[in-house]
Amino acid sequence: MKIGVFDSGLGGLTVVQAMTQIIKGAKIFYIADTQHAPYGEKTQEQILQYAFNITEYFLNTYEIDALIIACNTATSAAVKALRETYPELIIIGTEPGIKPAMEQTKTGKVGVLATPATLQGDKYQQLANSLAMQKDVTLFEQACPGLVEQIEQGKIDHPQTQEMLEAWLHPMRENDVDTVVLGCTHYPLVADMIEKIMQRELNLIHTGEAIAKRLLVLGEEKGHKNEGELTLAIYSTDSIATHLVSGIIGKEVEVEAIVL
């Protein structure tokens, strides 16, 4: 199975890392579209265009069998159109894990950290509204403009990053939030700092493992045998913090520059 995965930068590698624990006998091609990062502050039309350009590149260059949109913002903007255009392709998007968060919370208070574009998107709004009708849970939604850039620049343990998170998380801490949805694939990279600021035992919900398991099910339905070697190739459309790439994946990996 040939799998194309993309995000605006490093964040989607948290999904790839989860995939490497579950998927075997496959080739993963990852594109960090750093030239256009961050997606969370682009228009829906721009993000849609980036998603189609990358998908066409994957299909023309690698003849992929599956596409993973390892970005909540790009999923919201493009997953519907991509599925309509490429019905033969396995396409899996990334959504904030509000449902598991609602199931796991003990206090009934759930925090959602996401990019401005994700929180404003129809997909998120519909999901949040439908789940809120099913269960009596209070959502504390917080847009995090600038956090993706901090992570992309390697400022994960930086005082400025801590200051930003402290301001966003303060209302959640004061209101007894016990479960936080990491609604962007970059945010697991600052999970330790989030736990430290919240000063309590916390459920942190991110979706990498769920995506990997879903891919395995859909792949096996199409005849994928989950055995043998897994290979990974990583590309970026502009500069990227290569030391962080290796840190996320857990081994030394090369990053090749490409032009789309």
Residue 202 burial (C-beta neighbours within 10 Å; 0-12, 13-18, 19+): middle
2-94+208-257 with 98-205: one CATH topology? yes
Choose the catalytic residue: 23, 143, 148, 184: 184
pLDDT at 121: 85
In this predicted structure, the answer to whether residue 159 has a pLDDT above a threshold of 90 is yes
Tens digit of each residue's pLDDT (9 = 90 or more) over 94-148:
999 999 999 999 999 999 999 988 898 888 999 999 988 888 999 999 999 999 9
Tens digit of each residue's pLDDT (9 = 90 or more) over 29-39:
999 999 999 99
Q: Which strands make up the sheet holding 2-7, listed edge to edge?
A: 90-92, 66-69, 2-7, 26-32, 230-236, 255-257
Task: Give all strands (DSSP E) within the chain, no chain letters.
Answer: 2-7, 26-32, 66-69, 90-92, 109-114, 138-143, 179-183, 203-205, 230-236, 255-257
Can you read off the two tokens belonging to residue 81? 């159109």
Residues 19, 219 contacting (CB under 8 angstroms): no
In this predicted structure, the answer to whether residue 22 has a pLDDT above a threshold of 90 is yes
- What CATH number belongs to 2-94+208-257? 3.40.50.1860
Q: Which residues contact 39 (CB under 8 A, 6 or more apart)?
A: 7, 8, 33, 47, 50, 71, 73, 74, 77, 115, 117
Helix H or strand E segment including 41: none
- Ordered DSSP codes for 194-212: HHHHHTS--EEE--HHHHH
d(CA 257, CA 77): 25
| Residue 206, CA distances (Å) to 112, 132, 200, 220, 254 in order | 11, 19, 18, 24, 26
Fold annotation for 98-205: Rossmann fold (3.40.50)
pLDDT at 200: 94
pLDDT at 41: 82
What does the pLDDT average to over 11-26?
Answer: 97
In this predicted structure, the answer to whether residue 82 has a pLDDT above a threshold of 90 is yes
Can you read off the two tokens belonging to residue 195? 């736990």
What does the pLDDT average to over 189-197?
Answer: 97
Rg of the chain taking only CA atoms, in angstroms? 18
What phi, psi does 213 have (nearest 5°)?
-65, -40
Task: Tell me the pTM.
Answer: 0.92
DSSP letter (8 states) at residue 237: S
- The type of residue at 19 is M
What phi, psi does 89 have (nearest 5°)?
-90, 135
Helix, strand, coil percentages (3-state) for the chain, rounded to 5, are: 50, 20, 30
Choose the catalytic residue: 71, 147, 151, 177: 71
Q: Where do the structural domains in the chain lie, given as residue ranges? A: 2-94+208-257, 98-205
What does the pLDDT average to over 187-191?
Answer: 97
Whether 144 is catalytic is no
Percent of the chain with pLDDT over 90: 90
In this predicted structure, the answer to whether residue 181 has a pLDDT above a threshold of 90 is yes
| Residue 22, CA distances (Å) to 17, 26, 209 in order | 9, 11, 8
Within 13 Å and on the Cβ side, how many CA atoms surround 176?
7
The per-residue pLDDT of the chain, averaged, comes to 95
pLDDT at 149: 94
